[in-house]
Chain A
Amino acid sequence: MLQVLANGLALGAAYALVALGFVLVVNAASAVNFAQGDLVMAGGFAAVALGRLWPVPGIVLLPAVLAIMAVLGLLLSAIAYFPLRGRPATAVFVSTIAVGLMLENAANAIFGAEPQAGPPLFPGAVIALGPVSLSRQALAVIVTAAVLITAQELLFARTRLGQRLRATAQDREMAAAIGINVTWMIALSFALAAALGGAAGLLLANSFFVTPTDGTNYMLKAYIAVVIGGWGSIPGAVAGALLIAVFEVVYPSLPLLVPALPASWLFSETTATIILYIVVLAVLLLRPRGLFGEAALRRA
């Protein structure tokens, strides 16, 4: 049970990074970044490639992956967001879908369609915690993600740069009026989003492998997490991501945990995903503004 929960939390921690990146762009740019999932995939492949060049534990590669992805995020904003400022919201949806397509097929051209495993975060497989043994990788993922989320939180709460980023997210016009370089702040938000997504890619690349077509799935999970957590809410996005992942991992294991339940298609992973979508659709049907309301300010 504990192992299942730890796996769920590890997956959730990675999802949380993806959702965090997604919501940062929602707030700063009022835009949905459809390429967020493909950035995760790109981060995973960056880890695979770096790991081949330099066979060290993943944790050592993390700073390099963060840096590469931040640059990719800046690029993304430069080609797919800034040229479309002031256009209908659908324009950025389409442009980021296009970038996602490019990333996916670039990965396919370079690495091939086969799943690849990234380097483990730390060497060694299992850790003994009293009577239970947990996968070291799962724990490492949880800890690393928690550190990154805390770092983001500290950046926003404690630094001048974070203040400016928050001001931009709250009200771009007001931020511009008090002398904040809004364009730069939006670009930085894209960079942060890509770095967090890429970090998730690195964390997931060992246990879950990475394939070029992974992007859509991660993007959807982040999107759903942000809708469940309240559009624009940062803690909500993290909570939503954890909720989704724990459900995804625990639900198919229910027959193992509760012997009374039959092991049938009712408890397959696919069924879990279908239930997840139906729940989200129901949430949107009953509460068209998300489960916990919207945190993002409405701009007319």
Chain B
Amino acid sequence: MKMEFARGLRAPLTAAAGGLAIWPFVFSGAYDLRLFTLAGIYVLLVLGYQFIFGHSGALSLTQGAFFGLGAYATAILAVHAGWSFPETLVLSVAVSTALAAVIAVPVLRLESHYFALATLGIAQVLLLVCREWVPLTGGVNGISGVPGFALLGHAIPNGVPSLILVWSLVIIAAVLAWRIQGGIYGLGFHVVRAAPAAAGAIGLDGGRFRLVAFLLSAAYAGAAGALFVRVNRIVSPDVLEFPLMVTCLAMTVIGGATRIAGAFAGAVLLVYLPEWFRPLDKYYLIAYGAGLLAMIVVAPDGLIGAAARLRQRIAPEADTPPEPARLPRPANTITASLVFRDVAKSFGGVRALQGVSFELRRGEILGLIGPNGSGKTTLVNIATGLEARDGGAVLYGNRLLTRLPPFAIARLGIARTFQNVCLAGEMSALDNVAVARSLDGDVDLETARSQAMYLLETLGVGGVAMMRALDLPHGVQRRIEIARALALQPDILLLDEPAAGLNEREQADLASRIRTLRTLGLGILLIEHNMPFLAGLADRLVCLHEGRVIAQGSPGGVRQDPQVIAAYLGLPQRAPG
């Protein structure tokens, strides 16, 4: 993320980068140059691992295997078939990515504890196969005599030339990673990881994000493996063993799992630490384990994250909010209603919903009322794909919503808020809204932020735009959610208790805002307990009780309905006719 990456750290990071660049030319022994080249290769490996572990938050244990596979692919083809460096580099990337693509489908849908085992299992199978398949891999002895780097028929000698080649590739890879993570797409990664339900509600396909992250991590690892073999000139099953995976994990955790600078810090540090701590000898690895443990406990966002926080504490630097910008008027083509037809849902033996039928028309505000536990939120969850229905259907135009995943429903123009607010807490209020603009193909991050600022201001919370969402009071968070829903420019808006936690003036503000949306032609469903708020606003009311619609019609009529009164007062009611 652009701002997080360098906020307040630009000067020290630039100095550190300069230091890194000078380093090899100051300590220019052959051994040191080799070490520094290797550090670059690890940076590449870690940059890749950040996609899946940092940005997707999935503990993949195949990163080492992708690296090893890339290494072996290069070694085998370079030694047995004489392939050149560029050819084997492309091939190593392709082989690792292909393996990732094959295993992604079954593996990525697993929950964390199965995902870790499955990825570790795949790595172990590769390791064992590589040890046993002697004719191809040389077994435990591996393959030696791999030629070094060469470009266009010119050999690139060890030392400074190889170092420059490797680090040039590392920098290209880092810029690429920065471009992928820095834009609005990077915010998307964050939401998918931190608030999966919210991601679906703003049309982000979490599965796709994870897949892309997994493939990218494999591609980077494959490239790192290809370079590693060219530097090392020999490959053995060590590259597929668990310790290499642990090294990669440690570098990522220690440097910082979501920051480009973290990959550099973690990799360079862990390559050089054993050199600096030679006196510790065999106790070094114990200290290394202790360091990893300390980092995950004390500084979960790594050295660079800790440095950024420290910097922020010493000299707080307030971000300036962007200039607000109106959203372009969407081309309104669909004018369909949202139709609930005989919707039924049970939890265990409890019937949460049965035979629920009503219609939300465009240009109307429909109040959905009912006592706690009457099934209101469940109904919204079914309409937005978060829960599966047991019977009946939810239709939007000619589309059957009940078979679609949440993100697809959001993309049809149906937006929602959550009863229990669902925001990415570490992200600013502004970015929580800006990320919802990502479906609009031609919006870049800057524009999205300006538009988000506009939405926040219309909801009266522009003043907190740059604050972290989790630091804000509940009522404010609710309005941020509404702003986020509006960022989708929806045709249908489902608001789950939007007025909770607002004072009367804020409620009046919100009500007038909702009325404006009605005149724009939106269909709005309002779940509310707050009758005075609802009474002045809703065109019609639907009352749910114990999962059934017990009354619907004009607000006055529904409020006077004896069944509704009985339901709210908890009186015994007649069997519904």
CA A108 to CA B282, docked complex, whole Å: 8
| Chain-B contact segment, one of A47-55, A92-100, A176-184, A234-242 | A92-100
Contacts of B118 in A (CB 8 A): 280-281, 284
B293 with A98: CB separation less than 8 A: yes
- Docked Cα-Cα span, A105 to B285, in Å, equals 6
Chain A residues, Cβ within 8 Å of B132 = 265, 268, 270-271
B211: Cβ under 8 A from any A Cβ? no
A288→B113 contact, CB < 8 A:
no
CA–CA, A84 and B293, complex, Å:
11
Among the stretches B123-131, B335-343, B473-481, B516-524, the one at the interface with A is: B123-131
B131 touches A270 (CB 8 A): yes
If A32-B116, A94-B253, A281-B121 touch, whether A102 touches B59 (CB-CB below 8 Å) is no
Q: Does B79 touch A at the CB level, under 8 Å?
A: no
Interface centre among A94, A102, A104 (most CB of B within 10 A): A94
In the complex, whether A80 has a CB less than 8 A from a CB of chain B is: yes
Cβ–Cβ contact A270 & B117, under 8 A: no
Which candidate, A132-140, A188-196, A216-224, is the interface stretch facing chain B? A216-224
Instruction: Please name all residues of chain B whose beta carbon is closer than 8 Å to the beta carbon of A104 when the two chains form the complex.
Output: 285
Distance between A79 CB and nearest chain B CB, rounded to angstroms: 7
How far is A281 from B62 in the complex, measured between Cα atoms in Å?
14
Set of chain B residues within 8 Å of A32, measured between Cβ atoms: 113, 116
Chain A hits for B249, CB < 8 A: 94, 97
Known A270-B128, A270-B131; contact A84-B289, beta-carbon cutoff 8 A: no
**CB <8 Å contact, A83 and B121:** no
Which candidate, B93-101, B104-112, B178-186, is the interface stretch facing chain A?
B104-112
Assess the B125–A98 pair: CB atoms within 8 A: no
Binary contact readout B483-505 vs A (1 if CB under 8 angstroms, 0 otherwise): 00000000000000000000000
A87 at the interface (CB under 8 A from B): yes
Contacts of A84 in B (CB 8 A): 296-297
Partner of B292, one of A90, A94, A284, A288: A94
Closest Cβ neighbor of A32 among chain B residues: B113
B298-339 residues at the A interface, CB under 8 angstroms: 300
Q: What residues of A have a CB within 8 angstroms of the CB of B292 in the complex?
A: 94, 97-98, 101
Which of A26, A83, A91, A98 has its CB near the most chain B CB atoms (within 10 A)? A98
Which residues of the other chain, B, contact A273 by a CB distance below 8 angstroms?
Answer: 124, 128
Is B283 among interface residues, defined by CB-CB distance under 8 A? yes
B3 within 8 A of A: no
Give A227 to B113 CA distance when docked, in angstroms. Answer: 9
Would you give the 0/1 interface string for A245-270, flagging 1 where the beta carbon is closer than 8 Å to chain B?
00000000000000000000100101
Contacts of B113 in A (CB 8 A): 26, 32, 89, 231
Residues of chain B from 193 to 217 with CB closer than 8 A to chain A in the complex: none
Provide the A93-126 mask, 1 if CB < 8 A to any CB of B, else 0.
1110111111011101100000000000000000
- Give the shortest distance, in Å, between B444 (CB) and chain A (any CB): 30
Chain B residue nearest in CB terms to A280: B121
CB atoms of B57 and A220 under 8 A apart: no
- Among residues of A, the one whose C-beta sits closest to the C-beta of B122 is A281
B531 at the binding interface (Cβ < 8 Å): no
- Is A157 on the interface with B (CB-CB < 8 A)? no
Chain A residues engaging chain B, CB cutoff 8 angstroms: 26, 32, 79-80, 83-84, 87-91, 93-95, 97-102, 104-106, 108-109, 216, 220, 223-224, 227, 231, 265, 268, 270-271, 273-274, 277-278, 280-281, 284-285, 288, 290
- Would you give 19 A-B contacts (Cβ < 8 Å), ordered by A? A26-B113, A89-B113, A94-B59, A94-B296, A95-B293, A97-B246, A97-B292, A98-B289, A98-B293, A101-B246, A101-B289, A102-B293, A105-B288, A108-B282, A223-B120, A270-B131, A277-B125, A281-B118, A284-B110
